[in-house]
Amino acid sequence: MKLKDALQIEKTIPNATPKFRFIDLFAGIGGMRIPFDELGGECVFSSEWDEFAKDTYELNFGHRPEGDITKIAARDIKDHDVLLGGFPCQAFSNAGLKRGFFDTRGTMFFEIQRILAEWRPKMFLLENVKQLRGHDKGRTLETILSILNGDAPPIPDDIPMSLEARKSLQKKLNYDVDFKVLSATEFGVPQRRERVYIVGFDRDHYGNVDASVVFANLEQREAVTRLSDALEPEGSNEVAKYTISDRLWEGLIRRMARHESKGNGFGHKVFGSNDGYCNTITSRYYKDGREILIDQSHMGLNPRRLTPRECARIQGFPDWFDLSACSDTQLYRQFGNSVSVPVIRSIATSMLKLSNRLEAGNNKVAVG
Ligand SMILES: C[S@@+](CC[C@H](N)C(=O)[O-])C[C@H]1O[C@@H](n2cnc3c(N)ncnc32)[C@H](O)[C@@H]1O
Residues 257 and 352 in one domain: no
247 CA distance to ligand 1 middle (Å): 34
Within a domain: 367: no
> 273 pLDDT exceeds 60?
yes
Q: Could you tell me the CATH number of the domain that includes residue 84?
A: 3.40.50.150
Q: Over the chain, what is the mean pLDDT?
A: 91
| CA distances (Å), origin 208, targets 83, 128, 311, 358, 359 | 20, 27, 41, 9, 11
pTM: 0.94
Residues 144 and 251 in one domain: no
> 366 pLDDT exceeds 50?
no
Q: What is the pLDDT of residues 83-113, one digit of tens each?
A: 999 998 776 766 556 667 777 667 899 999 9
Looking at residue 136, its pLDDT comes to 84
One-letter amino acid identity for 293? L
3-state secondary structure at position 163: helix
- Work out which ligand 1 atom sits closest to the CA atom of 339: 8
- 207's torsion region: left (phi>0), alpha (psi -120 to 50) or beta? left
Number of neighbours of residue 277 by Cβ within 10 angstroms: 19
Residues 193 and 300 in one domain: no
Residues 236 and 138 in one domain: no
3-state secondary structure at position 47: strand
The answer to whether the CB of 111 is under 6 A from ligand 1 is no
Within a domain: 368: no
Residues 295 and 352 in one domain: no
- Work out which ligand 1 atom sits closest to the CA atom of 29: 9
166 Cβ contact partners less than 8 Å away, ≥ 6 residues apart: none
Q: What is the pLDDT of residues 40-69, one digit of tens each?
A: 999 999 999 999 999 999 999 999 999 999
Q: What is the pLDDT of residues 179-219, one digit of tens each?
A: 999 999 999 999 999 999 999 999 999 999 999 999 999 98
Looking at residue 367, its pLDDT comes to 46
| pLDDT band, residue 368 (cuts 50/70/90) | very low
325 Cβ contact partners less than 8 Å away, ≥ 6 residues apart: 52, 55, 56, 58, 59
The answer to whether the CB of 52 is under 6 A from ligand 1 is no
Alpha-carbon dihedral sign for residues 337, 341, 343, 348: positive
Range of the domain at 182: 3-224+338-359
Residues 14 and 81 in one domain: yes
Looking at residue 260, its pLDDT comes to 74
Q: What is the pLDDT of residues 127-185, one digit of tens each?
A: 999 999 998 888 889 989 999 999 988 888 888 888 899 999 999 999 999 999 999 99
Q: Where are the alpha helices (DSSP H) in the chain?
A: 3-7, 33-38, 51-61, 108-119, 131-134, 139-149, 163-168, 203-206, 212-216, 237-240, 246-261, 308-314, 328-337, 341-359
Residues 204 and 308 in one domain: no
The answer to whether the CB of 70 is under 6 A from ligand 1 is yes
Alpha-carbon dihedral sign for residues 81, 185, 265, 267: negative
Residues 193 and 262 in one domain: no
One-letter amino acid identity for 79? D
* More reliable by pLDDT, 77 or 289: 77
61 CA distance to ligand 1 middle (Å): 16
User: Is position 326 annotated as part of the catalytic site?
Assistant: no
Which of 89, 278, 311, 326 is flagged as catalytic?
89
Number of neighbours of residue 65 by Cβ within 10 angstroms: 24
Residues 140 and 159 in one domain: yes
> 259 pLDDT exceeds 70?
yes
| CA distances (Å), origin 57, targets 47, 84, 155, 355 | 10, 15, 35, 28
Residues 196 and 143 in one domain: yes
| pLDDT band, residue 330 (cuts 50/70/90) | very high
Q: Could you tell me the CATH number of the domain that includes residue 259?
A: 3.90.120.10
Residues 211 and 234 in one domain: no
> 241 pLDDT exceeds 50?
yes
Side-chain-facing half-sphere of 20: CA atoms under 13 Å:
24
Residue of 341, 277, 306, 348 lying closest to 6 (CA atoms): 341
| pLDDT band, residue 295 (cuts 50/70/90) | very high
Distance in angstroms (rounded) separating the CA atoms of residues 296 and 79: 52
Total of domains in the chain? 2
Within a domain: 364: no
Looking at residue 261, its pLDDT comes to 75
Percent of the chain with pLDDT over 70: 92
